[in-house]
Amino acid sequence: MPSTAPHDAPLFPEVEPEAAGRLAVDMRHALYWESSGNPYGVPVVFLHGGPGGGCLPHHRRFFDPEFWRIVLFDQRGAGRSTPYAELVDNTTWHLIADMERLRAHLGVDRWLLFGGSWGSTLALAYAQAYPERCLGLVLRGVFLARPAEIDWFMEGMRVVFPEAWRAFVEFLPEQERSDLLGSYYRRLTDPDPAVHLPAAAAWDRYEGACVALLPDSDPARAEGDPVASLAIARIEAHYFVNRAFLADDELLQQIDRIRHLPCTIVQGRYDVVCPPVTADALARAWPEAEYVVVPDAGHSIREPGITRELVAAMLRMRARLTAEGGAAPARS
């Protein structure tokens, strides 16, 4: 369906966490988590992209804090989780297990999953593993981690962004350019910061140049702290090399496990990082899901049309849960 949300659907006001902590999920990894909004509200968990991207305060603002108990967490190796940019024991299945551990730690029975890009992948994988723990899903910029999608990121985006792709390739010595993913992975996992930090910055510049319909005139992303780029570049490459630890088409083949759950898919028409063909495949496999195409947007969650439709989707989810008896009690 086309975009129909009102053009003035804003983000909710800023809200500070009412609780936060680090949860040890094994002998190596500890996850940063936070909870904001209504502590007695309907739980919603934000699944960030990347993988390796981490959560930001901005991400709390997609949810009505009077209704939702808003849970954010940084996945293994990302953001404020420790150890930073760590690849050992970092797989899709570890992340799913981490979500279950966090859910139990917070005393949540069921929660709504809200994820974009890689976060949509993780939301689908978790929901298919634990459908009984899910109230529904709101997905953005769908990524199913199929080989063709990974190959598109590494090679295909040059069709639309040849300048960015050329800079991405030319960062590497000529003898390393025949296998972009393998060459970047070797550099990103090299223990020497003089090797892995420049590679992370080059990866981040490439992705950042392709993520929005209209490029940001502020080049801060490209010129920021190179260490901040390491987790997303290294962990993305790790998951790409390992095909996200999923079988080909696994998430589509298992879709019947979750078709009874309410779902809204929000997709930018001009999303180059995760093109609409993937969201279309998911919508065709899941005809009960609501599929919203934003005609004037790319991939970024910050694009006005994407923001508008995600807020509208959450308002519809709130109305649905209220009608089904899932309304949050008033604050005490």
Out of 29, 48, 238, 299, pick the active-site residue.
299
Is 299 noted as a catalytic residue in this protein?
A: yes
CA distance 277 to 188: 30
Out of 98, 229, 271, 300, pick the active-site residue.
271
Taking every pair of Cα atoms in the chain, the longest distance, rounded to a whole number of angstroms, is: 65
User: What burial letters (b/e) apply to 273-308, b meaning 16+ CB within 10 Å?
Assistant: bbbbebbebbbebbeebbbbbbeebbbbbebebbbb
Is 117 noted as a catalytic residue in this protein?
A: yes
Which secondary-structure segment (H or E) carries 104? Answer: helix 92-105
Residue 86: alpha-carbon gap to chain centroid: 18
Q: Name the one residue in this structure whose structure tokens are 């804090």.
A: 65
Out of 117, 120, 183, 229, pick the active-site residue.
117
Is 64 noted as a catalytic residue in this protein?
A: no
- With beta carbons less than 8 A apart as the criterion, state whether 87 and 233 touch: no
CA distance 328 to 332: 11
The one-letter amino acid code at 6 reads P
**Gyration radius from the chain CA atoms:** 19
Backbone angles phi, psi at 151, to 5 degrees: -65, -35
Q: Which residues are catalytic?
A: 117, 271, 299
